[in-house]
Chains A and B, each alone.
Chain A
Amino acid sequence: MAFDLLVRGVFSQIHNRFRAKSTVRRSVGIVLSLFLFLCYHPFHSKAKVTGLCSNCHTMHASQDGVTSPTNPALTKVDCIGCHSSTDTETIKYIGGNPGDPETSRVPIVNNVPEPSNPLAGGNFYYVKQNQTFGHNVIGIPDVNQDTLLPSAPGRPSTSGGTGCEPCHGKLQGGPGEDCGCKSCHLYVIENKRHHTNDDPDNNKIVEGPPWYRFLEQNHNYPDIGVHGIESSDWEKGINNTGYNDYNQYKGVDAIGSDPAGMNDNSMSDFCAGCHQGFHGINFTGGGTNSSPWFRHPAHIGLPSGGEFANYAIYDPNAPVARKNLTNYTTPASRTTVSASGYTGNDQVMCLSCHRAHASPYPDILRWDYSAIEANNGKTGGCLICHTGKK
Chain B
Amino acid sequence: MDYTRRSQKVCKGSYHNRYRNKGILYSSFITLIVTVIAIKGFSRLVYAKVIGVCSNCHTMHYSQNGTQEPEWGDEGPYGYLLTKDCLGCHTATDGGTWKDPVTGAPIVYNLSEPSYGIEYNGVKQGLAGGNFYWVEHLDDTRGHNIFPGNPDDNLAIAPGEAWAYSPDGCGSNSCHSNLDRPFQASQSFDPIHGYLNGRYGCRGCHMVSGYNRFSQIKSWHHANDSGPVVDSKEEGWFRFLSGHYSGYEHGVAGIEDDDWQYTYSKSDHNEYLGKQVASGTGSFVSIGANTMTAFCCGCHGVFHVKKSAGEWIRHPVDRIIPITNGYELYTEYDPLVPVARPDLTGWTGPRATVNQGGTVQKDMVMCLSCHRAHGSPYPDILRWDYSTIMDEKGCITCHTTKK
Interface residues of A (CB under 8 A from B): 132, 148-151, 153-154, 277-278, 283, 285-286, 290-296, 306-307, 353, 363, 369-376, 382, 388-389
Given A149-B66, A374-B52, does the pair A291, B61 have CB atoms closer than 8 Å? Answer: no
Least CB distance from A270 to B in Å reads: 17
> Nearest-CB distance from A136 to chain B (Å)?
13
Given A285-B198, A292-B211, A294-B77, 14 new contacts (CB under 8 A):
A148-B66, A149-B65, A291-B79, A294-B78, A295-B60, A295-B61, A363-B64, A370-B55, A372-B55, A374-B52, A374-B53, A374-B54, A375-B49, A389-B54
Asked, given contacts A149-B65, A375-B49, A375-B51, whether A290 binds B211 with beta carbons under 8 Å apart, the answer is yes
Tell me whether A286 and B197 are in contact in the complex, defined as CB-CB below 8 angstroms, given that A149-B65, A291-B211, A291-B218 are known contacts.
Answer: yes
B interface residues with partner A (beta carbon < 8 Å): 49-55, 60-66, 76-81, 194-195, 197-198, 209, 211, 216, 218-219, 222
Roughly how many angstroms separate A373 CA and B216 CA in the complex, as a whole number?
A: 24
User: A148-B66, A154-B63 known; A369 and B54 CB under 8 Å?
Assistant: yes
Q: Which residue from B49, B53, B54, B62 sits with its C-beta under 8 Å from A295? A: B62
Among B54, B66, B195, B219, the most chain A Cβ lie within 10 Å of the Cβ of B54
Q: Contacts of B216 on A, CB cut-off 8 Å? A: 291, 306
Query: Could you say which residues of chain A place their CB within 8 Å of the CB of B52?
Result: 373-376
In angstroms, Cα B222 to Cα A142, docked, is: 43
A234 to B146, CA, bound (A): 54
Query: Chain B contact residues: over half helix, strand or loop, or mixed?
Result: loop
Chain B nearest CB, measured from A365 CB (Å):
9
Closest beta carbon of chain A to B85's beta carbon, Å: 12
Q: Say which residue of B53, B60, B78, B218 sits within 8 Å of A373 (CB atoms).
A: B53
A376 cross-chain contacts in B, Cβ below 8 A? 51-52
Measured in the bound complex, the distance between the Cα atoms of B54 and A372 in whole Å is: 6
B222 touches A374 (CB 8 A): yes
Could you say which residues of chain A place their CB within 8 Å of the CB of B77? Answer: 283, 294-295
In the bound complex, how far is the Cα of B50 from the Cα of A36, in angstroms?
58
Shortest distance in angstroms between A304's beta carbon and chain B's nearest beta carbon? 10
Are B79 and A285 in contact, with the CB atoms below 8 A? yes
Q: A294 vs B62: C-alpha distance in the bound complex, in angstroms?
A: 8
Please state if B66 and A372 are interface contacts (CB–CB under 8 Å): no
Contact B49 A388 (CB under 8 A): no
> Can you name 13 A-B residue pairings with CB atoms under 8 Å?
A148-B65, A148-B66, A151-B66, A154-B61, A286-B211, A291-B211, A291-B216, A294-B76, A295-B60, A372-B53, A373-B52, A376-B51, A389-B54
- The answer to whether A293 and B53 have CB atoms under 8 Å apart is no
Judge whether A292 and B219 touch: CB under 8 Å. Answer: no
Q: Which of A277, A291, A292, A375 contacts B50 (CB 8 A)?
A: A375
Please, which residues of chain B bring their CB within 8 A of the CB of A363? Answer: 64
Complexed CA–CA distance, A376 and B211 (Å) = 25
Closest chain B residue to A305, Cβ basis: B216
Which of B61, B76, B79, B81 neighbours the largest number of chain A CB atoms within 10 Å of its CB? B61
* B63, B66, B81: the one within 8 Å of A150 (CB): B66
User: Does A296 lie within 8 Å of B54, measured CB to CB?
Assistant: no
- Interchain nearest-CB distance for A64 vs B (Å): 50
Name the contact of B53 in the complex, choosing from A296, A306, A370 (C-beta under 8 A).
A370
Q: How far is the CB of B124 from chain A (nearest CB, A)?
A: 31
In the bound complex, do residue A296 and residue B55 qualify as a contact, i.e. CB atoms below 8 Å apart? Answer: no
How distant is the Cα of A363 from the Cα of B194 in the complex, in angstroms? Answer: 37
- Residues of A close to B194: CB separation below 8 A: 286
Asked if A388 and B61 sit within 8 Å, CB to CB, the answer is: no
- Give the docked Cα–Cα distance between A374 and B78 (Å): 19
Q: In the complex, what's the smallest C-beta–C-beta distance from A344 to chain B, in angstroms? A: 16
Find chain B residues with CB under 8 A from A148 CB. Answer: 65-66
| Of the residues B49, B63, B211, B218, contact of A153 by C-beta under 8 Å | B63
* CA–CA, A369 and B194, complex, Å: 35
Q: Is there an interface contact between B198 and A286, defined as CB atoms closer than 8 Å?
A: yes
